[in-house]
A and B are shown apart, each in its own frame.
Chain A
C-alpha cells in the first residue's frame, strides 16, 4: 500500500507552502550569487524555502531553494505532520525501509513522462541554456548539480547507482566534479569503465521528487530505485533516457544525459562544501560530456547551498547515515537504544546509546561503524548509556565532560579512511583520503562495583516518584508559566 507522499517536486512545494515551510519570491532574482545568497541565509536562519518565480536571463525557468533543509521539511516529504519529532521521523523511516528488497521501478512511456515535455539534443543540448547558479562567490564555476543525483549502471552487472555527486558547468557540453574512488559510482567507473577506456553513460536527475532524492543520499544496501519504492510504498515511475539505456524518475524537473569520459580530467572547484568550508582546492576531476537535456515545461531548478549548518545535504546524510548505522548495530546484536548523527556536525559526529552490557562495548561499536562502508564519512563516535537522551545536545556535552575518561575513554585510530573534504586534514591526508578516527567512551566501566558508580543528579533520577508527581502536578500552581 502506498504511503502518503509527493510524486514530484511541484506537489512537494505546494505542500511546503501550505505548512508555511516555503514562500513565493515574485521579485526577479539573479542566478549570479543572489539566489545563492538567499538560500545560504535561509539555511543559517532556518527560514522557509524560497520558491523563485523569475530568474534573470532565464524566462520560463523557476527555482526552489533549500528543499529539505530542516526536519520539518523532511517530515513533510515523508507525508508526516511537520511537527513530528525527530525520533518519530526516524522510526517511520526505519519501519518503511525494514525490508531487504524493494519493488522494481514502473517504466512509463516517454509520452507519459513529464520530464520529456521538452527534449534538446545535438547543439540544442547546451548547459548555458539552464540557469545554473553561481552559488558562492569564489566558486570555481556555476553548479548545475546541487540538489540532484547521478544515475549510472555497472559495466558488467545489472547494478545501478543513484548518488549525489556535485557537478560544475565547464562549457556548453561539459560538466566536471569529484567522484571519490570509494563511492559506489567511483567503484563502477574507476574499477571497470576507465581501465577499459569505455565512456560510462550517466543521467543527472535535477529536481527529483523528495523521496527519490532522500534515497539517493541514503547508504542503503539495495539499489536506490528499489529503496525509493520502500519509502513510497509503491514503485517509483521511471522512463528511459533519450541517448542511453539508463532509466530516470519520470516526474523530475530536468534530466541531463551523457557519458563520463575515461582517462581525462579537467579542473573543478573550489566549492563551498558540506563541511561549511571551501576545503578541497581546485583540482583535476571527473569529466561529464552532455548528449541530451530533457525537462518539464517551465522547469523548477532546485538549489542547495552547502555551507555552515544546516543544509539538506548535512541533514539528510546525517539522518540516513545514523539510521543505517542503527540498523547495522542492531543486526549485529549490540544492545543499542538508538543512533543519532548531529546535522550540526556536518555528519562527522554520531551519538550511540547502548546498554553497557560488557567491557569495551564502546570500542566494539566504534570499530563496527568505522569499519563499515559508512565509515569514511565521519570520524567521531560518542557512546553514551541507555539512560541518556541521544538527541539532546546538553546531555551530549554533559556526558563528554563528565563521563569520558581523558585517557582511557578516548580511543584513537590513526589510519582510517576519510574524505578529501575534511577541513582539519593535512594535504597528504586529503590526497589519499586518510583520516584518524576517535571513539569517546562515555560509559562507566561495567566492572565498577555498584557502590562506586556515580549517581546522576537530575530531577528524573534522584527524587521519589510521589515527589516528582506532586511537583509536576503543582508546577503552574507554584507560579511557573512553562
Chain B
C-alpha cells in the first residue's frame, strides 16, 4: 500500500469525497525520495478502507488531520511544459 499526503486549502469537512480531484500528492515512502511531490488526478474517501492507498490530509498551514483517508490515484500529471 502506497502512502501519500496532500494539502487542502479548505476545512477538512469540505473535502470532496469520491470525486475526481487534480492536486499535489507527496510520496511518504521512506528513503531519499521521501516527500517527492507530483500532480495527480485522484479520488479520496474519509473511509480509510475504501480505496487501496493511504492518504494523510494537511490543511493550508500544515495542520495534520489526525485520521487517515484512503485514495485511488487515477493518473499522475506533468504540469511543466515539455523541454523545460
Contact = CB atoms under 8 A, between A and B. Distances in A.
B7 A267 contact: yes
Contact of A138 (B9, B37, B58): B58
A129 B32 contact: yes
B80 A261 contact: yes
B34 interface: yes
B61 A171 contact: no
Interface in A187-207: 199
B19 to A, nearest CB: 19
B42 to A, nearest CB: 15
A141 B37 contact: yes
Interface in A130-168: 134, 136-142
A249 B58 CA distance: 39
B1 interface: no
A266 B62 contact: no
Given A128-B32, A128-B33, A138-B64, A266 B79 contact: yes
Given A128-B33, A259-B84, A270 B38 contact: no
B7 A141 contact: no
A287 B62 contact: no
Contact of B37 (A129, A136, A137, A171): A171
Contacts of A32: 34
A259 B26 CA distance: 23
Given A267-B24, A281-B61, A141 B80 contact: no
Nearest to A142: B35
Interface string B59-79: 011111000000000000001
Interface residues of A, number: 31
A144 B33 CA distance: 13
Interface string B27-47: 000011111111100000000
A94 B24 CA distance: 47
A83 interface: no
B36 A128 contact: yes
A264 B24 CA distance: 15
Contacts of B38: 171
Nearest to A260: B84
A134 B79 CA distance: 24
A289 B84 contact: yes
B35 A134 contact: yes
Contact of B62 (A171, A264, A270): A270
Contacts of A137: 62
Contacts of B32: 57-58, 128-129
Contacts of A142: 35
Contacts of A266: 24, 39, 79-80
Contacts of B79: 264, 266
Contacts of A281: 9, 60-61
A304 interface: no
B56 to A, nearest CB: 11
B7 A261 contact: no
B80 to A, nearest CB: 6
A49 interface: no
A274 to B, nearest CB: 16
A57 B33 CA distance: 10
B62 A278 contact: yes
12 contacts: A58-B32, A129-B32, A137-B62, A138-B62, A138-B63, A139-B62, A141-B35, A171-B36, A171-B37, A174-B80, A266-B80, A282-B61
